[in-house]
Structure 1
């Protein structure tokens, strides 16, 4: 009787799996980060491209190892069901996601520009673009992969198994916002920042539900951050990642619109862009654009 509180169908209950996942992730991150710090002490705190690449490598290794191991051993579920199986039109879904991420971030900047809150400045030299962009693309793709695999991969799937689709979408979005709690400038307008982060989390989770995979979410996430930072030179969730952006956008309008020091995620401009993007994505879904998806879901996600 007592065992049934913790175990169902000979598996640990999903909320407890999430707890184990978090503990293992924290412990492994500490070990790998300590090893990185021993080799390069400045790599842990710097936002220079080389240091970010080292941090990204630690993050990818930590999340990938933890997620695959626990999905197989603890959940006893298919790793493919997490949403990153290279099957079906996965590359097309990823490309669609890149378009969405770039378009929504550009729309947010356009909203600020039309209102007089943002101004397009200088363009970086082509040489600087070619030097920095490839590395930043890899860094931001790796960062997006770790967040998607953990929050909308492992955690969302277990929430879905425990309580169903809609609670899983909402709770995973709240968790996504929570993991950014210690980012710089988050508390300057906390509620609007949380709203923006949750909105992105809901958009990405809905893309998983509608496409059956995380490829579109990955493309959106990586492109959103790429255009926000290295392309437009704006803060990426409070972090200044690009000393030499392709286009310099100066922001001077109200913080409730622009997000100020945290970046567009903390502003109404991104909420509007995400809402429009979600409507377009929903229209594509209802029109059958994602019908040819490869179905790798577990039984609980098909009900």
Structure 2
């Protein structure tokens, strides 16, 4: 039944077929990587400008600021570095939206940005992302992989600002990979499964440079990418995926204080101590995404999503 699901017409992909310019798969991947790299450099430039502005208002003497031993990032708090680093991924969002609209000359609906049910789909995505991570942390606590240490409500303002930053970062990856790459490849090849596989593999490969990544982490990234791809196709929009990705990262980092794909967080509401002997369950320094508990949860979520797809496919076939 899943094969039949891939054969049905998807509104996003049908819209993508109307693009005025249609580079082949090889060029699509090249364009995708180039846009990502260029926009990442632009984002880094904004970070540099922000640090320069902070430095100019710091009151430190020029001799200190220009010293080879002086690290300009030391002027920022860990929270500032985290928030600004997440927010500058807005450059990636802008890059892919502009490329689609003005180079390929296709509408944003072809990327999954539909007006119908946009708010409800986003809220549902937030709920699913939160639920998945709560289950992950609950299982890690039950197995003794994580132990609750403390709670801090004083960081709530920073946490809320970080949530906005994660909204941007989560959307950037979904727009690039599911909204642009998956729909573009599926439109060019008339094979949706190729779009799913290629964007999922690239999604995992993009994280190879993250700190402390390992084999389990890579498998979980593939599972997450596959789940997100099918979720976008099933819901026929990108809003839910952007929200789910946002909440998955936000809950893991800013709520539970766990490293997000190998990147440490500064402030979080809850604090847990990880059992180093059970790193294969809790993911160790990479965070929960590097452990087998997430493998189980993502596997179950993917199985549930496929079951939902098959159930709807059977009902459509019987009608």
Residue 277 of structure 1 corresponds to which residue in structure 2?
A: 301
Matches of 1:233 and 1:169, distance apart in 2: 31
- CA distance, structure 1, for counterparts of residue 75 and residue 134 of structure 2: 29
Query: Which residue of 170, 176, 181 corresponds with 2:208?
Result: 181
**3-state DSSP of counterpart to 1:175:** helix
Match of 1:221 in 2: 245
**Mapping of 1:1-303 within 5 angstroms?**
11-40=22-51, 42=72, 48-60=78-90, 62-85=91-114, 87-124=115-152, 126-129=153-156, 131-163=157-189, 164-186=191-213, 190-243=214-267, 245-252=268-275, 253-284=277-308
Q: How far does the alpha carbon of each residue in 1:185-214 deviate from its partner, in whole angstroms, 9 at most, with x for none?
A: 11xxx2111001111111111110100111
Aligned-pair CA distance for 1:133 = 1.7
CA gap of 1:43–1:77, structure 2 versus 1, over 3 A, is farther
Moved more, 76-85 or 151-160: 76-85
Shift of 1:97: 1.2
Report if aligned partners of 2:178, 2:229 keep a CA contact under 8 Å in 1.
Answer: yes
TM-score by length of 2: 0.78
- Please give the TM-score of this superposition, normalised by the length of structure 1: 0.82
- Give the conservation status (yes or no) of the 8 Å contact 2:35–2:96: no
Q: Deviations over 1:46-94 (max 9, x none)?
A: 782323333333211x223221222123323222210123x11121111
Any gaps of 5 or more consecutive residues in structure 1? 1-7, 289-303
- Please provide the CA RMSD for this pair: 2.6
Does the CA contact (< 8 Å) of 1:49 and 1:135 recur in 2? no
> CA contact under 8 A between 1:121 and 1:248: conserved in structure 2?
yes
Q: Which stretch of the first structure deviates more once superposed, 43-52 or 191-200?
A: 43-52
Q: CA deviation at 1:286?
A: 5.7
- The 3 A distance-change label for structure 1 pair 46 and 266 is farther
Structure 2: gaps (5+ residues) = 1-18, 53-71, 313-319
Q: How many residues align?
A: 274
Q: Provide the C-alpha distance between the structure 2 equivalents of 1:95 and 1:10, rounded to a whole number of angstroms.
A: 34
